[in-house]
């Protein structure tokens, strides 16, 4: 398990690389950007995802995970665009 201090540093570095606030890692599913505070949300899903990614040693495994994540993001964008057009 990653010690809390190291996890905080890692999340800050990731947020900087993504040019996003660190709070993006703490937002609950479906919450609006900036709508959730770190004290109210659980960072464990983000840390679990990082641990799982680290456990994938084969490049093909990582490519499959990335392909699935990209498809999910495309589906969410398409759904969001449809919802915005309807509303």
What are the residue ranges spanned by the domains of the chain?
1-55, 58-87
CA distance 72 to 42: 22
More confident of the two residues 4 and 40: 4
As a 3-state breakdown, the chain gives helix, strand, coil percent values, each rounded to 5, of 70, 0, 30
This prediction's pTM: 0.53
pLDDT value at residue 80: 81
CB 50 within 8 A of CB 10: yes
CA distance 71 to 69: 5
pLDDT value at residue 47: 78
pLDDT digits (tens, 9 = 90+) for 66-83: 999 999 989 988 888 666
pLDDT digits (tens, 9 = 90+) for 1-33: 667 778 788 888 888 988 888 888 776 655 444
């Amino acid at each position: 398990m990653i010690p809390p201090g190291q996890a905080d540093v890692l999340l800050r570095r990731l947020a900087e690389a993504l040019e996003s606030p660190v709070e993006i890692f703490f937002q609950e599913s479906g919450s609006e950007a900036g709508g959730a505070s770190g004290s109210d949300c659980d960072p464990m899903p983000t840390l679990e995802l990082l641990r799982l990614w680290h456990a994938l040693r084969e490049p093909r495994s990582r490519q499959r995970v990335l392909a699935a994540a990209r498809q999910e993001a495309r589906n969410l964008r398409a759904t969001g665009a449809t919802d915005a057009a309807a509303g």
